[in-house]
A and B are shown apart, each in its own frame.
Chain A
């Protein structure tokens, strides 16, 4: 089983070549499959903000230096290992070199210069990314609560705790998410009522923690983002990047970039909608029998529900103060057949369930699917 030092160079050589061949083969196959997408996978997505473009420029420099250092040092290791393997007849000791002060000084000074250079350029980029416009075109407060984003649009003279002009409560979809004007600078405040979240949009190459600060609202994080004028019409995804509990993964949101004129029209429309008299609560729409369901302590009070195939109403009572819940219905394949809108407690709502084919369904709170679910039988 074991070999004495130097007696079986062939075994070790075979092992060495096997490792090298496996690694090289794997890399070669991957690269041959799709060279340009492999290359692109070593870079962040194309930056969609002015700050993100500066970060990307810095990334490219760091990446270039890293690749050069990696190739040189790893190459030196591999070359040394291959070149200085013990060969038959190597009985005399090799030269017993204990060190070399000039070499030591060299590999202290050279890396020091490289890291100082990297530090200076990253500090410069940092100053530019962190710079805040005295007169931003727009102020928005991104509110991250367990486990949903909402976006409050603020008046021009707003501070961290100013009341919103209007609020977008849906984090995604055609009418939900963060709407930003192209070609303009938006100042974003970050507010959390519960735990730490992080505002992260990969296309901005940027994230910032949403730290709860209690009564000290002026300590909340804030930053500027400037969207290039050419990006109107684009949509991309953002996501919470700091573990915030069981619903962490579902805290996604969409960013919609609108042309300035479209943005102004959208903004005015939202303000008008907010100022309009609230529509009377839908009445008389309740169809079929009413089935009660209560949410309390991030749990449903019932794990089974039964309703007629002709349609019915779920009277949903959310008793969790400040925590949004809803009741969505999924068929056997996991496809959502009823997508109800969530609302924070305390409060109650009648969800009208349309006629469904008889069978067994799953109902869940789309915000806390891990803890809040049950079985619905449609007869």
Chain B
């Protein structure tokens, strides 16, 4: 290879960076995904702080004279958090953990794996370029047409086109990634690793990949149609030229509702790895859990129009019924988790704390979602702050708490060092309190009629105190990331050495060194149940 002509010193220096830029190792790519996602998480978090600062009190402060920027910020906050943080973050954990969990040396298509990762920062840069080319996309992350069309008072300028192209790239990355996961899970399992012995995280990544593969091409097509609308007079979604405004919402939500499960199923999978380990019991109802995951995936394709109850263009009873039904498999999971803890021996390490945070917050996100399934109640709540509360209880109280649990749980495997428990608990307490202080008052704001996506509100509307509380909570969440960053920083240098299996865990990734060698396993333990390491430690008997 050409690099052999370099001087030894230069090649030694370059090889570190060069290795990370060209790697096809699923573990390194997984770490790249995670680091990249955290960068976008902090960026979109700063945008949220801008929004919360403006809303702290009535009157315009931060965005006086520049309300368009406010609209750009909430648009990009949503877009970046969803497409560049939660989805890739979970894909990153999947990338790192799934091949290890099924005893494979790598993903099925390592180069495609690298390609799908590198499309993400590129897509993210495209998305953000709008800020320096005359204004980023400003029509909300949902980009409803005709507001997303290129015309005065709507979405003129290149920001919206950059948003479209960025999401096309990110969507393509998702599709490639899902094909890779499916091929890996179906074809690369170690001998003995039957489907019903796969860890739950692997199952949730499998179902998620099916969702991505079926839904994302629809969204990508819709994005291209919107691009044609804006630039070449396509008239797909523009009623003033014979198009249909509601058609966009149908295709958008046909992807974006299943995307909610893409954002939460792998987090559920992580919780389902962590709860058994820290209660020293197997997951209660493994098969029921698998069927519930598949059930959520299947039902997830029949509920998209519950985002459109007030459009007057969808058959309400059908989508109401299906939305209520999806509560059933979700409830099955909730009870299985609780009964995993039941009669266990719980050790409150940071991963378990975040996992318990997931349980109790996701419960609220499920229950307040049922209000909107009752269509007439949704007529009152839709597009108010109630919905903002609901979606954050699912995506923050659920997914982000799951990601944090996963980070504390797998960090020792990825780096060979433990994260500090003290700082971890400080982070958990701050984040838990800040989260509830931010998003719980939004229930009441929504009930009393505060709409989403406004930069200001009347001072006599009765929304002042609740908004101030939410803003204080927002800054508390921001503060909670400081112990996290400090913890990662010092633990990478001087954290406690983890060893192969610091948690007495059950699944195969803990059977190899921390961090694992490039090809993952020198040898594999016998796989005769969904807990091969437990069997190795305690022997496999009828009692277990």
Residues of A whose CB lies within 8 Å of any CB of B are 1-3, 5-6, 9, 11-12, 15-16, 18-19, 22-23, 26, 41-45, 52, 54-55, 58-59, 62-63, 66, 69-70, 73-74, 76-78, 80-81, 84-87, 90, 93-100, 103-104, 107-108, 111-112, 115-116, 118-119, 121-123, 125-126, 129, 146-147, 194-196, 198, 200, 202, 205-209, 211-216, 221, 237, 239-249, 252, 297-298, 320, 323, 334, 368-371, 373
The chain A residue with its CB closest to the CB of B456 is A249
Q: Is B88 an interface residue (CB 8 A)?
A: no
B272 to chain A, nearest CB (A): 13
The chain B residue with its CB closest to the CB of A85 is B346
In the complex where A200-B383, A214-B242 touch, is A96 in contact with B363 (Cβ < 8 A)?
A: no
Other A-B contacts than A55-B380, A66-B370, A112-B328, 9 sampled, CB-CB below 8 A, are A1-B423, A2-B495, A19-B433, A100-B285, A122-B374, A126-B320, A242-B144, A245-B71, A246-B153
CA distance A100 to B59 in the complex (A): 57
CA distance A216 to B243 in the complex (A): 11
* Cross-chain contact of A84 among B67, B344, B495 (Cβ < 8 A): B344
The chain A residue with its CB closest to the CB of B68 is A246
B453 & A243 in contact (Cβ 8 Å cutoff) = yes
CA distance A370 to B286 in the complex (A): 55
In the complex where A74-B363, A207-B382, A211-B311 touch, is A107 in contact with B332 (Cβ < 8 A)?
A: yes
A39 to chain B, nearest CB (A): 11
A95 & B280 in contact (Cβ 8 Å cutoff) = no
A244 & B147 in contact (Cβ 8 Å cutoff) = yes
CA distance A196 to B139 in the complex (A): 11
The chain A residue with its CB closest to the CB of B235 is A214
- Segment of B43-51, B106-114, B441-449 in the binding face: B441-449
A143 to chain B, nearest CB (A): 15
* Cross-chain contact of B317 among A9, A100, A123, A207 (Cβ < 8 A): A123
Q: Which of A54, A121, A214 has the most CB of B within 10 A?
A: A214
CB 8 Å contact bits of B306-325 with A (1 = contact, 0 = none): 00001111001100110011
B357 to chain A, nearest CB (A): 10
- Segment of B169-177, B414-422, B517-525 in the binding face: B414-422
CA distance A32 to B390 in the complex (A): 26
Pairs across A and B, CB under 8 Å, 10 listed: A15-B425, A77-B341, A84-B279, A87-B345, A118-B370, A123-B375, A126-B320, A196-B144, A246-B153, A323-B152
A107 & B368 in contact (Cβ 8 Å cutoff) = no
CA distance A126 to B295 in the complex (A): 27
A214 to chain B, nearest CB (A): 4
A129 & B347 in contact (Cβ 8 Å cutoff) = no
CB 8 Å contact bits of B360-377 with A (1 = contact, 0 = none): 100110011011011111
Q: Which residues of A contact B423 (CB under 8 A)?
A: 1
A97 & B281 in contact (Cβ 8 Å cutoff) = yes
Q: Which residues of B contact A9 (CB under 8 A)?
A: 348
B449 & A74 in contact (Cβ 8 Å cutoff) = no
A212 & B344 in contact (Cβ 8 Å cutoff) = no
* Cross-chain contact of A243 among B139, B284, B353 (Cβ < 8 A): B139
Q: Which of A19, A26, A206, A370 has the most CB of B within 10 A?
A: A370
A99 & B345 in contact (Cβ 8 Å cutoff) = no
**How many residues of chain B get a CB closer than 8 Å to chain A's CBs?**
117
In the complex where A66-B370, A211-B245, A369-B67 touch, is A198 in contact with B152 (Cβ < 8 A)?
A: no
CA distance A207 to B341 in the complex (A): 43
The chain B residue with its CB closest to the CB of A95 is B343
Q: Is B477 an interface residue (CB 8 A)?
A: no
CA distance A44 to B375 in the complex (A): 15
The chain A residue with its CB closest to the CB of B313 is A211
Q: Is B342 an interface residue (CB 8 A)?
A: yes
Q: Is B192 an interface residue (CB 8 A)?
A: no
B380 & A206 in contact (Cβ 8 Å cutoff) = yes
Q: Is B356 an interface residue (CB 8 A)?
A: yes
Q: Is B66 an interface residue (CB 8 A)?
A: yes
CA distance A100 to B342 in the complex (A): 13
B347 & A196 in contact (Cβ 8 Å cutoff) = no
B356 & A298 in contact (Cβ 8 Å cutoff) = no
Q: Which residues of A contact B310 (CB under 8 A)?
A: 198, 207-209
Q: Which residues of A contact B66 (CB under 8 A)?
A: 370
CB 8 Å contact bits of B414-442 with A (1 = contact, 0 = none): 00001111110100110011001100000
Q: Is B287 an interface residue (CB 8 A)?
A: yes
The chain A residue with its CB closest to the CB of B295 is A108
Q: List which B487-523 residues lie within 8 A (CB) of chain A.
A: 491, 495-496, 503-504
In the complex where A1-B496, A70-B363 touch, is A93 in contact with B538 (Cβ < 8 A)?
A: yes
A2 & B311 in contact (Cβ 8 Å cutoff) = no
The chain B residue with its CB closest to the CB of A19 is B429
Q: Which residues of B contact A221 (CB under 8 A)?
A: 311-312
In the complex where A90-B345, A241-B383 touch, is A2 in contact with B421 (Cβ < 8 A)?
A: yes
A243 & B452 in contact (Cβ 8 Å cutoff) = yes
Q: Which residues of A contact B339 (CB under 8 A)?
A: 97, 100, 103
B144 & A118 in contact (Cβ 8 Å cutoff) = no
B481 to chain A, nearest CB (A): 18
B327 & A70 in contact (Cβ 8 Å cutoff) = no
* Cross-chain contact of B371 among A3, A18, A66, A209 (Cβ < 8 A): A66
Q: Which residues of B contact A206 (CB under 8 A)?
A: 379-380
CA distance A22 to B428 in the complex (A): 13
B529 to chain A, nearest CB (A): 9
